[in-house]
Amino acid sequence: MDNLHFDTLIIGSGLAGFTLALNLAKTRRVGIVTKQTLNDSASGWAQGGIAASLSDEDTPEKHVQDTLIAGAGLCDESTVRFVAEHAQEAISWLIEQGVEFSRDDNHGTGYHLTKEGGHSTRRIIHSGDATGKAVQQALIEQVRSCPNIQILEQHIAIDLIASDKIHKNPTNHDKHCMGAYVLDRDNGRVRTFMAQNTVLATGGASKVYLYTTNPDTATGDGIAMGWRAGCRVANMEFIQFHPTCLYHPHAKSFLISEAVRGEGGLLKLSSGECFMADHDQRAELAPRDIVARAIDFEMKKRGLDCVYLDISHKPASFLQQHFPTIYARCLELGIDLTKEPIPVVPAAHYTCGGILTDPIGRTDLKNLYAVGETAHTGLHGANRLASNSLLECLVVARAAAKEINNQQPISMPMIPDWDESRVTDADEEIVISHNWDELRRCMWSYVGIVRTTKRLQRAQHRIDLLREEINEFYTHFRVSSDLLELRNLVDTADLIVRSAMLRHESRGLHYSRDYPDVLPQACNTVLQKPL
């Protein structure tokens, strides 16, 4: 029971993982590993929608150009075109799976299309203001009913099983992935899952920051595991801070969708004064990096705890129809957005960098793929365009599935079981919670929206000390879910800081006071472990 074999092992249960699984399950035996339940992922928290050129007024080329502009010179244009050109068929596939998008005849598509920051036209197809939830619920139903998909909830991956750890003196050409060691959280046993192909689909790493719009599961697991296995990572310095997270002591990580600004919401100071036009001519519809920096600037300049997002000038019926989830949650907290502004602050939202892959998800390690926020395909560049994230999950996962379906089976060697013979049970769990809190506060204080070289050096020093302590703990004690997440967070934090220190300019989401200018040539930051 502790050892299982799959044709494809998918680590993660968001949109990318589900899309891949459903596109493989007709011919392959698929395992989905998720550390909580199928319902727990950042995909399910997505509010705005999915970007796709669906109307007669739009084209894939316009979508490409908007993405390139937002990406500040670092998008891979071939990847951008690949994703934009396959967007419409990806949406059609979702509709076939039973996803119900908001209807409207005004755009000639039969569906309501909204507009978000950085987009030149309305192209965001959505399901009210809870698109991710609608998509995930439809796909979960399909996944649970599929006989070729085995669901392993309450399982957290520890590390990938790479051939160089099994065979002595393998050549680089021979190095490949053979599965993963996985902790069963219900009984504490470590299981060996072997697979012809393994896919990292664990989402991003925004939980490395103290304030985030992401669920607790976003601890950079896939990025850290891929890095430890020898994959390159790219552009980890580009962490997108969503400009508008609800500011309230009882609202944990609640996002106020970009679509609120897209439908006419205005950012204001407590005095009622609008300020975005002072920072960018596009005002509230500027890309997220610009809006987040503007809010950060105004808060620090004036000593504010938050700013305000006001859409109360719109009819109440319009707001209740288009933003039912946001309206209801705000009302629970005593905020009536039809009559008053919403207090908001920026919060860590999306990891633009990740495991370096090609447009169909292939990594440096043979038989290992990375999809969704875990991967760096080159789509997002230095700043992700709003609602391109769910689209990337769909297009890249479908392309990866096609690639995997065309492969011939390979023989699998014997893989040794996880060795716990030299470890004991942990006696001070408080060490883990203390280090978790210290790491996240350090990243928020020193590696946030605006950075300096001195702040990054301070962060690096603290991360080095934490890594040493965490690795010692990992070496001597039995693994636990909290320890594994902390280990992944500190590895990911190290990658973010190292990447930020290498970028001597301000571009997209990375803004340095010491290097405020943009260099004439845009270059990716690529990290590789020494052999």
Mean pLDDT along residues 209-235: 94
- 190 exposed, middle or buried (CB, 10 Å; 0-12, 13-18, 19+)? middle
pLDDT in tens, 112-160: 998 888 899 999 999 988 898 999 999 999 999 999 999 999 999 999 9
Residue 336's pLDDT band (boundaries 50, 70, 90)? very high
For 215-284, the DSSP string reads -TT-S-HHHHHHHHTT--EE-TT-EEEEEEEE--TT--S-B--HHHHHTT-EEE-TTS-B-GGGT-TTGG
Strand positions, DSSP E, 300-373 = 307-310, 342-351, 354-356, 368-370
Predicted confidence at residue 117, as pLDDT, reads: 80
pLDDT: is 165 or 216 the higher one? 216
Average pLDDT, the chain: 92
Domain segments of the chain as ranges: 243-348, 430-516
Please name which of 434, 443, 36 lies closest in space to residue 203, comparing C-alpha atoms.
36
**355 Cα distance to chain centroid:** 12
Predicted confidence at residue 154, as pLDDT, reads: 96
CB 424 within 8 A of CB 477: yes
Which numeric CATH code is attached to 243-348?
3.90.700.10
Q: Which two tokens stand for residue 296?
A: 């950060």
Question: What is the percent of the chain with per-residue pLDDT over 70, rounded to a whole number?
Answer: 97
Task: Of 45-59, 219-233, 497-511, give the lowest mean pLDDT range.
Answer: 45-59
Q: Which two tokens stand for residue 14?
A: 């968001």
Predicted confidence at residue 218, as pLDDT, reads: 93
Predicted confidence at residue 251, as pLDDT, reads: 79
CB 207 within 8 A of CB 25: no
Task: Of 273-277, 444-448, 457-461, give the lowest mean pLDDT range.
Answer: 444-448
- Is 189 labeled as catalytic in the residue annotation? no
pLDDT: is 474 or 196 the higher one? 196
Whole-angstrom distance, CA of residue 124 vs CA of residue 48? 8
Residue 88 has pLDDT above 80, yes or no: yes
Task: Of 213-217, 373-377, 445-449, 463-467, give the lowest mean pLDDT range.
Answer: 213-217
pLDDT in tens, 39-52: 888 887 777 799 99
Predicted confidence at residue 54, as pLDDT, reads: 93
Task: Considering the candidates 28, 81, 288, 451, report the single residue annotated as catalytic.
Answer: 288
Residue 428 has pLDDT above 80, yes or no: no
Beta bridge mates, 370:
200
Mean pLDDT along residues 473-487: 89
Mean pLDDT along residues 275-279: 96
pLDDT: is 253 or 471 the higher one? 471
Whole-angstrom distance, CA of residue 528 vs CA of residue 379? 20
Please name which of 233, 279, 259 lies closest in space to residue 496, comparing C-alpha atoms.
233
Predicted confidence at residue 107, as pLDDT, reads: 64
Is it true that 243-348 and 430-516 share their CATH fold?
no
Predicted confidence at residue 170, as pLDDT, reads: 56
pLDDT in tens, 368-403: 999 999 999 999 999 999 899 999 999 999 999 999
Predicted confidence at residue 426, as pLDDT, reads: 65
Residue located via tokens 């993660």: 12
pLDDT in tens, 171-196: 555 788 999 999 999 998 999 999 99
Mean pLDDT along residues 211-236: 94
Residue 167 has pLDDT above 70, yes or no: no
CB 343 within 8 A of CB 306: yes
Predicted confidence at residue 478, as pLDDT, reads: 85
* Positive or negative: CA dihedral 354, 355, 358, 362: negative
SS3 101: coil
Whole-angstrom distance, CA of residue 407 vs CA of residue 13? 23
Tell me the whole-structure pTM to 2 decimals.
Answer: 0.90
Give how far Cα 128 sits from Cα of 92, 267, 292, Å.
Answer: 18, 22, 24
Residue 222's pLDDT band (boundaries 50, 70, 90)? very high
Residue 10 has pLDDT above 80, yes or no: yes
Which listed CATH number (3.60.15.10, 1.20.58.100, 3.40.640.10, 1.25.10.10) goes with 430-516?
1.20.58.100
Amino acid identity, position 423? V
Mean pLDDT along residues 396-421: 87
